[in-house]
Amino acid sequence: METLDPITIDGRMGEGGGQVLRTSLALSLCTGRPLRVQHIRAARRKGGLMRQHLACVRAAMEISSADATGVELGSKELSLTPGTVRAGDYSFAVGSAGSAALVLQTVLMPLLLAGGKSTVRIEGGTHNSWAPPFDFLELSFMPLLARMGAQVDLELERVGFYPAGGGTIVATIHPLGEAAQGPSPLVLLERGASKQHYAIIRRAHLPASVADREWEALRRVLHWELSQRRDVNHEESTGPGNAIHAVLPFEHVTEVVTSFGAKQRGAKFVANDAAKEARRYLGGKAAVGRHLADQLLLPMALLAGGEFSTLPPTRHTKTNIDVIHAFLPDRIRLDEESAAECHIEVGGRDS
């Protein structure tokens, strides 16, 4: 059996955070290439593997029977040799309020390509700053994944806000071959006709007046009507928390903008933050928002590719492209057409 040379990733590249590790893990499992990551999260104040990063590594190891070294808290270097990824039923726990979505992000593409149905249950935070919240995954990302020929059913079993965590998401990942047409290129150059926009205000163990103040601030900026307000009170939550999502559906894409409540962060500030980001997206013509652009790159590169228009890319997105190119050279082309918009073209696995 041929022994493949490992791919060495410098964790200091680009924005130097956990995304470098997660994308590297996913690509190692999908390509079968051994992986070595050095200087893990070197750009962060407290570098090395934290609990949620360890959860990602251990999840990758479990679904592929991988061998690894450096799997411990604070480790700044990791080596992993993947085995064969196996579809199946899996349960993972972050062990903190760390993001459940980021663990799913690590194992999603490997399990989609594994040739069988998988169920993944992940305990941790479901609505965290600096990570895709459940609503973004369900309303924005998963519908586009389905258009690529990949079906993933997502369930919010229990909400988990920072810092208590205690939430659970369940993903049912169907075999890629179940789609009659097979993987399809994603072409997303225009948003299409606008549908009714709305706000989802989630709260747990907080008075309804918090949601009222947030709604009023959001309504004033975006000029929305009461019919565009949707409230969800999570009495089952382990701890208190609050998030406001501005959901912006269009014919071809849905953008989800989120702002989180926190101590010493007033309701008006939380809502204005969401409204400002929503207005930035609505003020342009690009189809794909900045965070969604980052999420689309890996599945497009591993499936049938495609192209999309987006806002000027973040450093996070450019870093993700660099990591993908370490495994799949020249797979992505980014054309920054103007200060307001750019075009990204992705070659698929058969390109």
CA distance 117 to 111: 8
Q: Is 39 known to be catalytic? A: no
Identify whether the C-beta of residue 142 lies closer than 8 Å to the C-beta of residue 151: no
Tokens of 96: 């903190």
The distance between the two most distant Cα atoms of the chain, rounded to a whole number of Å, is 64
- The set of residues, in sequence order, having a beta carbon less than 8 Å from that of 104 and lying 6+ positions away, is 120, 122, 137, 169, 171
CA–CA distance, 306 with 85 (Å, rounded to integer): 26
Cβ atoms of 301 and 280 closer than 8 Å: no
Catalytic residue among 174, 197, 316, 343: 316
CA distances (Å), origin 272, targets 61, 134, 201, 284: 41, 21, 13, 19
Q: Which residues of 252-262 are buried (b: 16+ CB within 10 A; e: fewer)?
A: bbbbbbbbbbe
Name the residue among 135, 341, 343 with its Cα closest to residue 243. 135
Dig out the tokens for 208 from the structure: 């309804």
129: left (phi over 0), alpha (psi -120 to 50) or beta: beta
Which residues are the active-site residues?
A: 316
